[in-house]
Structure 1
Amino acid sequence: MFSFLQKIGKSLMFPIATLPAAALLLRFGQDDMLGIPFLSAAGAGIIDNLAIIFAIGIAFGLAHDSNGGAALAGAIAYLVLTSAIVTINDSINMGVFAGILSGIVGGLLYNKFYDVKFPAWLAFFGGRRFVPIITAAAMTVLAGLFGYAWPPIQGIIDGAGDWILNAGMFGVGAYGFLNRLLLPTGLHHVINTIVWFDFGTFTDANGEVVRGEINRFLKGDPTAGPFLSGFFPIMMFGLPAACLAIYATAKKERKAIVGGMLFSIAFTSFLTGITEPIEFSFMFLSPVLYIVHAMLTGVSMMVAYALDIHHGFGFSAGAIDYVLNFGLAQNPLMLLVMGAGTGAIYFGIFYFLIIKLDLKTPGREDEDMENGNADTGNTGNDIRAYHTIEALGGSSNITAVDYCTTRLRLTVKDADKVSEKDLKRHGAMGLMKINKTNVQVVIGTAVEFLADAMQKRLANGNPAPESLEVPVEETTAAPELVKELRMGDFEMPIDGEIIELSQVPDKVFAKAMMGPGFGIIPSGGTLHSPVDGRVVTLFPSKHAIGIETDTGIEILIHVGLDTVKLNGEGFEALVEQGQLVQRGDALLKLDLAYLEANAPSAVTPIIFTNLAGQELEMLKKGKQNQGTDSILKIQ
């Protein structure tokens, strides 16, 4: 659930990104600025349709492949829901909740049915074309349910909103504290959406009912702003002062290095209200500072409320929004007075806590933490990094270095300059050229150390080490890869039901003669790779595929039983033998109806064929969606 909410929070950034444009147009069109109704109407076109924009944006963000078909499904879900529900009760107003619900349903149904297949006479309606159809049907049912279930829910939400809106300083303070506290998880977007776009109502001059703190403020509601005003002193003054405290407490020899970075992110916060670069610079290094920051945000919100300050923003509480919306605000100059005091408090508290608790903020890290294994001498990682860079075409050919569990993920200028032979000579297990500028090199579980050494070398132009030989103490045979799979390293390869291996209707598999594993009763039409690895076997009949993980575990996926006799009918291979694959990559297309009709069973055994002494532990059973992780682990 936490992961799912994070995905929704991330998806909310798509529609929220439209707000700056809407705020600018709406504000510049007002009579006290340019007085151009055309501009105001253009901005209102976004503000007044946020619910359907949320439906489209969330569905698009939840789609596994970010396909526009999911966005269409979200829009259809919203239109069906809002049109049908009012025929049951015309007083229902779900606001942005209708958009959020529609986006979630549209995105989930897209992921479920995007590759569904039908008989030839219905084939036109298969795949992505089926998603809007099933979405309309699902939302019709939900509209019927919510037509009766939503009025009491709406009453609770309105009551909670009224309580928070009327709870005075405690209400705005609690919101400010939670807003910052939830930032690391991404869940702050969820509560922001509710407060900004749903709580409170206002009837504008045209008789239109407007909901939400931001919308009401921009439309001229004199009561709007308390849930926005207190952010200005924090973002324009408090966090920049925190940067000053971090700089002042940095080690003398490190000030020049961190000073430029701190000035840049402080100015960004002041001007635009974008604070994440500052907050992420200390929230994990020094959590105590982040908790203090969240508390101070709540206090700032309470003080602004007590001073009867009403100011708002369309994007964030920076200087741009402060000036832009100055004419709509009440007591806006008091925010500058608050800002001066907030800046002094932030600097004093941060400076004291950093010194008193010896917090490792930027510029105060211990030497070993700063340098890691950066001693560019004759260490094995350093020498291997040198050779790897050269095999990739030299430092001038490398644009960016990243890595995952076992692979280097690189952006290069020309993939043709990369030498697979030289990479393997210096320890790489494989190379995959994604396109002309992106390559992946399979290294194994030591990839993190190699990537760190490469990044440090690239920063200096990759000078040749004193010796090109690995030190004697490190010249040992490469240890055998530990055959281990962590919970997140294995994903469900296909929609279906997990069963115990003993339930597979084949004695060879059921008695684990080929190795331990489990079975799947498939319900999906595409088999995906459950792991990062290489396709080592693809049977000519396409009924089975063997994958070796980057850490040496061999996995056999046998689709159905006795399906070798089908001679490839019902299967479409999407990969080739020897190809490197990642978790989630499509391997086989299945005609499940054909397999069920022509094979003894469609049950698919997943067998680990070379485990010796390692223990396989199943963590989930029953019906699971493709891509679900934490299915099992091997130790």
Structure 2
Amino acid sequence: MKKKLMDAMQQFSKGMFVPVLILPIAGLLIAFGNLFTNAKLAEIMPFLKAPAINGFGRMLSGSLVSILTNLGLIFCVGLAVGLAKEKKSHAGFTAVLSYLVYINAMNIYMSINKLLVPADKLRGSGQAMVLGVQVLDMGVFLGIILGIIVALIHNRYVNTEFDGAWQTYGGPRLVFIILIPIMVLLAVIFTYVWPPVQGAISSLGNFIRATGNFGIFLYGLLDRLLIPTGLHHLVYTPFLYTQIGGVAEIGGKVIEGARNIYFAEIADPKILRLSSTVIYDARGLSKMFGLLGAALAMYHTAKPSKKTAIKAILISAAVTSLIAGVTEPLEFSFLFTAPILFVAHSVLNGLGMVVLNIFDVRAIGPNGVIDFLLYNIPLGVAKTSWPMFILIGLVQAVVYYFIFRLLITKLNLKTPGREEETEETKLYSKKDYVAKQEGEKSGNANGDLAATVVEALGGADNIEKVDNCYTRLRLIIKDTSKVDQTALKGTGASGVIVKDRNVQVVYGLQVTKIRKAVDDFLGIQGE
């Protein structure tokens, strides 16, 4: 049971990437549109006052806010596509149809039973307008629930075909036929089940906010501690995209979730001060500053004979964390060799968020310095207190440095560059991968890399499924005893996680390129 539950959570976490990773793009474009409508910037750059430019900015930021108010549909389709094993486009199309059936079935049922509140009393009633249809306000949770159900039915019946006159009703059409009564039945059930669930969710959000700094610390701690399992997405997603992270009415629209509220607020020039719920998206502090101090500590404590080699690795990983907010290459450099450092990192990450809250800092940088500049600088100091974010970050970098250095030296931890002289420094082999990319080795570079990866995974016959998320190659392996972790690290991986038959190989931002090379090598085409 435990194994099945873990596998299911792993699959769900992986499927969440489809909708979750697209939302920061919307946020960036909202912030970019805000540049064109910023009054202070217009004083410095008068051309921004031109109606065409100002209008473009308003259209860009204003139109993308609609994504934040329709997250149920986005998560429904995204999860269905992410969890579908094949024919993903059919799964996405079916998800849209199922979502429409559900909301209209609920509206009709509630109307028949006189459960709908007057349109002018929606605020605080637990009901909302979804795609122009009044239903119970389930927000992102509706999309998650329906997306999972669509994916389960799709995976079970999408390849079921009939003969003769019934042939038309097989495959993806059969999936939709089965889903119609399920959606109608769910609409009736949730009409009565969801209100108490809604109350429980609201109470959870209130409890977390009521615990103040302790709740913030716990959030920051778990956000890092769960990284090895890949389940940290299940920690931050509810805060960022559901009412657990806060509810606010902005521009006449009800917005749920800390990040969504932030995006909506930066698009509304009338907002004088950003919401306090944004603190739950302050994960950028340790990404931009703390881990830089950790990298410097590991470099200074490395053996003199290995400093030259380790410098390139640590600089590359630190820059990736700073610029793109991708921390795993650096975190995995000490996660397995010195897990106590990872615990310290998790604790310091949570404490950093608490300090930001104490000083009332609302600046964020969830995906590194580029996000930080686009989100915060145009809004000004009054809204974000971004200079204090930088100051606290610099202090955090110093704290990271001294704590990491103390633990490494006192406990003689085998961080990169401190291995025995006879041992290979695992992360240095990234140079081999770079050499292959540049064609310095004979043969096809991508083919050589893919062959090495496949061989290290026990061969093509040992691989059941290949997938990837933002930074990890995710695989299902028949026999994990055949997995050569040292060889995988020789292809540029900064970490390898083996859990039952699930194997995750951490490559960082180049994972998409490696996934494609492996797919090509194995002859996997299309989906």
TM-score by length of 2: 0.71
- 1:361 paired with 2:415, answer yes
* 1:361-390 CA-partner distances (Å, limit 9, x unpaired): 112223454289xxxxxxxxxxxxxxxxxx
CA distance in 1, matches of 2:204, 2:344: 27
**Letter of the aligned partner of 2:369 in structure 1?**
A
After TM superposition, give the deviation of residue 454 of structure 1 in Å. 13
Instruction: State whether structure 2 residue 387 is matched by structure 1 residue 333.
Output: yes
Distance 2:191 2:79 in 1: 23
* Match runs of 1:352-501 below 5 Å: 352-370=406-424, 395-397=442-444, 398-400=447-449, 401-403=452-454, 407-409=458-460, 452=487
Q: Choose the corresponding residue for 1:62, options 57, 64, 83.
A: 83
| 1:25-424 correspondence runs (5 A) | 25-30=29-34, 31-32=37-38, 35=54, 36-65=57-86, 67-86=88-107, 87-88=109-110, 89-90=115-116, 91=127, 92-199=136-243, 200-205=246-251, 207-220=252-265, 222-228=274-280, 230-312=282-364, 316-326=366-376, 327-328=378-379, 329-370=383-424, 395-397=442-444, 398-400=447-449, 401-403=452-454, 407-409=458-460
> 1:19 maps to what in 2?
23
Once residues 105 and 331 of structure 2 are traced to their aligned partners in structure 1, the CA distance between those partners, rounded to angstroms, is 44
Larger fraction in helix:
2
| 1:444-488 per-position Cα deviation (integer Å, ceiling 9, x unaligned) | 9996679949979xxxxxxxxxxxxxxxxxxxxxxxxxxxxx985
2:414 partner amino acid: K
Separation of aligned partners in 2, 1:263 and 1:455 = 18
- The 8 Å contact of residues 456 and 484 in structure 2, kept in 1 or not, is answered as no
SS in 2 for 1:396: coil
Q: Cα gap change, 1:6/1:452 in structure 2, threshold over 3 Å: closer, same or farther? A: closer
Shift of 1:342: 0.1
Question: Residues of 1 paired with 2:400 and 2:188: CA distance?
Answer: 52
Output the amino acid matched with 1:144: V
Structure 1: distance between partners of 2:15 and 2:480:
32
The two structures have a TM-score, normalised by structure 1, of 0.59
Contiguous gaps of at least 5 residues in structure 1: 373-393, 410-428, 431-443, 457-485, 490-580, 585-635
Opposite residue 227 of structure 2, the aligned amino acid is: L
**d(CA) in 2 for partners of 1:46 and 1:296?**
34
Displacement of 1:170 in angstroms is 1.2
Distance of aligned partners of 1:141 and 1:368 in 2 relative to their CA distance in 1, 3 Å threshold: farther
Q: 1:97 offset after TM fit, Å?
A: 0.5
Is this contact kept in 2: 1:406–1:446, CA < 8 A? no
Alpha-carbon contact 1:12-1:58 (below 8 Å) kept:
yes
Distance 1:10 1:119, change over 3 A: same
Q: Quick check: 2:219–2:280 contact (8 Å CA) kept in 1?
A: no
**8 Å contact from structure 2 (residues 407, 413) kept in 1:** yes
- CA contact under 8 A between 1:226 and 1:309: conserved in structure 2? no
**Other-structure match for 2:438:** none
Task: Report deviation, 1:241.
Answer: 1.1
Distance of aligned partners of 1:137 and 1:28 in 2 relative to their CA distance in 1, 3 Å threshold: same
In 1, Cα distance between equivalents of 2:480 and 2:160: 37
Higher strand share: 1
Contact 1:282/1:362 (<8 A) preserved: yes
In the alignment, residue 297 of structure 1 is paired with which amino acid?
N
Residue 10 of structure 2 corresponds to 6
Amino acid in structure 2 at the alignment position of 1:408: G
Aligned residue runs from structure 1 range 551-570, under 5 A? none
Are residues 453 and 280 of structure 1, via their aligned partners in 2, closer, same or farther at CA, if it must alter by over 3 Å?
closer
Query: Is the 8 Å Cα contact of residues 241 and 347 (structure 1) preserved in structure 2?
Result: yes
- Provide the rounded CA distance (Å) in 1 between the counterparts of 2:311 and 2:424: 16
State the distance in 2 between where 1:159 and 1:404 align.
Answer: 51
Deviations 1:247-286 (A, max 9, x none): 1111222222221121112112122222122112221222
Instruction: Report if the CA contact (8 A) 2:258-2:281 is conserved.
Output: no
Hey, what's the Cα distance between the residues in 1 that align with 2:367 and 2:182? 40
In 2, distance between residues paired with 1:273 and 1:128? Answer: 39
What is the RMSD of the two structures over their aligned residues, measured on CA atoms?
3.2
* Deviations, residues 234-255 of structure 1 (Å, cap 9, x unaligned): 1111011111111111122222
3-state SS in 2 of match to 1:210: strand
State the shift of 1:185 in Å.
1.4
Shift of 1:164: 1.3
Q: 1:323 to 1:79 in 2, by over 3 A?
A: same
Are residues 82 and 281 of structure 1, via their aligned partners in 2, closer, same or farther at CA, if it must alter by over 3 Å? farther
The answer (yes or no) to whether the contact 2:338–2:415 under 8 Å persists in 1 is: yes
Gap change, CA 1:111 and 1:288, over 3 Å in 2: same
Deviation at 1:128, TM superposition (A): 2.1
| Structure 2 CA distance for partners of 1:322 and 1:445, relative to 1, 3 Å | closer
Shift of 1:123: 1.0
In 1, Cα distance between equivalents of 2:414 and 2:211 = 38
Q: Distance in 2 between matches of 1:238 and 1:371?
A: 24
CA distance in 1 between counterparts of 2:143 and 2:421 reads 50
Q: Which residue of 2 aligns with 1:625?
A: none
Ranges in structure 2 where 5+ consecutive residues have no aligned partner? 42-47, 49-53, 117-126, 128-135, 266-270, 427-440, 463-478, 492-498, 503-521
The amino acid of 2:257's aligned partner reads G
Q: Deviations over 1:478-507 (max 9, x none)?
A: xxxxxxxx9859xxxxxxxxxxxxxxxxxx
Give 1:110 deviation, angstroms.
0.8
Cα gap change, 1:368 to 1:123, in 2 (>3 Å): farther
Q: In structure 2, the residue corresponding to 1:310 is in which secondary structure?
A: coil
SS of 2:255's equivalent? strand
> How many residues get paired?
407
Query: Greater RCO between the two (CA within 8 Å, min separation 6)?
Result: 2
SS of 1:309's equivalent in the other structure is coil
Please state how far the C-alpha of 1:49 moved relative to its aligned partner: 2.4
- C-alpha separation in 1, matches of 2:396 and 2:79: 36
Q: Output the CA distance in 2 between the equivalents of 1:344 and 1:450.
A: 33
Distance in 1 (CA, whole Å) between partners of 2:331 and 2:490 is 25
* Structure (1 or 2) with the larger CA radius of gyration: 1
1:238 is paired with a residue whose SS is helix
1:151 and 1:445, CA in 2 relative to 1: closer, same or farther beyond 3 A? closer
Does the Cα contact within 8 Å between 1:82 and 1:98 map onto a contact in 2?
A: no
